[in-house]
Chains A and B, each alone.
Chain A
Amino acid sequence: MSSFDPTVDAAFREYADLQLLHHYLLLEGKDNAPETEAAEHQMEGLWDKLDAVQRQSLNGIGSDLNWVRRKGEPPPKGRKAPEEVTPTEQQELVAVIGLKEWHKILHYLRLCAPILPPVSLAHLRGHAYDALGFPTYASVFYEQAADFDPANAAIGVTALSSFEKTNPADAVRRAEKIIAAPLRYPPVVVALSALIILRRDETENRPIERQRFSTLLNDAIRWLQLEPSEEARALAYQAAASGFEIIDDLPAALRCFDEGLKLSPNNDVLLVGKGLLLYGSETDKAVETFRRLTHRATAIVWPYVFLAHFNLLKRNYAGSLEMSREAWARATTNPVRAQLLEWQAICQTELHYPPEVVRPIFSKALSLDPSNPWIPKNLAAFDEAMAVAKDSEWQIEEEASLSKTQRAHRMHKLELIEAA
């Protein structure tokens, strides 16, 4: 471990968190507010627990935040002119980037700051903080990079995605800023911003301004003709499609998926999105799409989930079990896991697995998602059938209904993160 690598222990992390809070309080002009003084007092208490390397690292990190508050201006007592950066320091920076020594990279970025365009400096810092496991810090620098270059689609997407991961409230804050002045930003950034706000409104059961967002999304799609990056266009169509879905304009959503797929025919996220949209109305087409995706072992859970459901409805219990197992390996949330277990239990019952094998699976499903209304009903049907030795009368969600109820689960992070 070099003198640049601090021990990242609880005290280090707590101090870093407080330093970031302090940064935000200063940004809000709360220099002498009680909460600012409280944060400072806590930092002073922690300071004595830190060793010299930790202190040096945290002060460097704090200086990076100071640079953000100065909007990229050089430090008053620090280097200002490119001539102050030696060729050796520039070579060192390149070398440590190659070695991915992130703390050292941050140090050399400070030394070499005068030769770096502010947008690059902000973006590199964001990347380094991400790599170090400080995503909330990364968000600060990605946002700064996006503010330096609002017309840059890739940087704008990175900033929004970063906030989505670290603090959805900040993602909404930034998204609102963007949609308040949509022509300042690339259409993909506008479409993503609209989607972020719509998702928030849908999740929190807020009233949705359908007309406003319809106009915004349609304008972004028109504007997309001027977007040179195919990848950005595909992502914009994907975001717009999801946005149209939330405002219940399904034809527009389908058009967006189709336009996106013209640009990027093998884009898993677009294919999944289209499949989900069609499931329940044009189920055969949806199933065909899902099968294509599972044949190439997509990492996205939804094709497996929906094929498990489809096979269950078709009484293809072995096929459903197989898809459930594949989905289980990719599932990341308890509601989805619970749903899969419930279907597995139904399939196993139909395949005459012993009740002592099946019942614990129902119980586990129930414990994973007590809010799922189908699981207790089917557990009761299972128990009743076992008691009187008859076939279970299962209650299985219909295709269109499943597509809608699962949207809440998949909406949260799917498209934006996986495509970014």
Chain B
Amino acid sequence: MARIVRPMIKDVDDLPLVGTRAKCLGVRPTGQNADVDLCPPGDVNGDVISNDKGLSVVDDWRMLPGHLIPEHLDDGFNNARGKGMAVFVHGNGTGPFAEGPVAGGLEMIFKQRSVSTGVIRPVATVSLAQYQADLHATRANWVVDES
């Protein structure tokens, strides 16, 4: 299984916090920081278009901007400044960062011109509620791994 990394806010049970804000397990559906395209546009009761957008992931947290790195990992050089966060790895994967299925209804694709960053998107156009539910269903599969 591919090693898919995403630093997120840690909930009280040490799993990622589910939510529709940045750094949570879930996408921001609307607004200028939206992570997905909706159809009809801006309609949270509508569908998520399966395109190059979705939940951002990476192969190594060290390549992220500082605000996405948990602050307790600050080594004086990496600018780690994310509060209450931990680095989560999906499914304890150890394989190379590669495109492919992630969980039911979800797949990972690379971002444009990158093989080290990607997004987890719906495999087909589905309702926003379904996509968020599919993402939330992966919660137990994310484990803290700050290696």
Interface residue? B66 (CB, 8 A): yes
The 8 A CB mask of A50-79 against B (1 = contact, 0 = none) is 000001101111110111000000111111
Residues in A20-74 with C-beta less than 8 Å from chain B: 22, 26, 31-32, 37-38, 40-41, 43-44, 47-48, 55-56, 58-63, 65-67, 74
Interface residue? A189 (CB, 8 A): no
Q: What separation, in Å, do the CA atoms of A78 and B78 have in the docked complex? A: 10
Q: Count of chain B residues with Cβ under 8 Å from any Cβ of A?
A: 24
Q: Are B81 and A37 in contact (CB under 8 A)?
A: no
Q: Are B76 and A74 in contact (CB under 8 A)?
A: yes
**Most chain-A Cβ atoms within 10 A of its Cβ — which of B68, B79, B81?**
B79
Q: What separation, in Å, do the CA atoms of A19 and B81 have in the docked complex? A: 11
Q: Are B75 and A78 in contact (CB under 8 A)?
A: yes
Q: Which single residue of chain B is at the shortest CB-CB distance from A31? A: B83
Q: Contact check: which of A22, A38, A47, A59 meets B33 at CB < 8 Å? A: A38
Q: Which single residue of chain B is at the shortest CB-CB distance from A60? A: B77
**Most chain-B Cβ atoms within 10 A of its Cβ — which of A63, A65, A110?**
A63
CB-CB under 8 A for A59 and B78, given A41-B32, A43-B67, A77-B72: yes
Please name all residues of chain A whose beta carbon is closer than 8 Å to the beta carbon of B79 when the two chains form the complex.
19, 58-63, 65-66
Q: Which single residue of chain A is at the shortest CB-CB distance from B35? A: A41
Q: Are A78 and B32 in contact (CB under 8 A)?
A: no
Q: Are A62 and B75 in contact (CB under 8 A)?
A: no
Q: What separation, in Å, do the CA atoms of A41 and B33 have in the docked complex? A: 6
Q: What separation, in Å, do the CA atoms of A381 and B85 have in the docked complex? A: 73
Q: Are A76 and B74 in contact (CB under 8 A)?
A: yes
The 8 A CB mask of B44-86 against A (1 = contact, 0 = none) is 0000000000000000000111111001111111111101000
Q: Are A66 and B80 in contact (CB under 8 A)?
A: yes
Q: Are B77 and A63 in contact (CB under 8 A)?
A: yes
The 4 closest A-B pairs by CB, nearest first: A62-B79, A78-B76, A59-B79, A75-B76
* Chain A interface residues (CB < 8 Å from chain B): 19, 22, 26, 31-32, 37-38, 40-41, 43-44, 47-48, 55-56, 58-63, 65-67, 74-79, 110, 113
* Chain B interface residues (CB < 8 Å from chain A): 21-22, 32-33, 63-68, 71-81, 83, 111, 114
Identify 19 new A-B residue pairs, CB closer than 8 A, beyond the known A19-B66, A75-B75: A37-B21, A37-B22, A38-B33, A40-B67, A41-B32, A55-B65, A56-B77, A58-B79, A59-B66, A60-B77, A63-B77, A63-B78, A63-B79, A66-B80, A75-B74, A76-B71, A78-B77, A79-B76, A110-B76
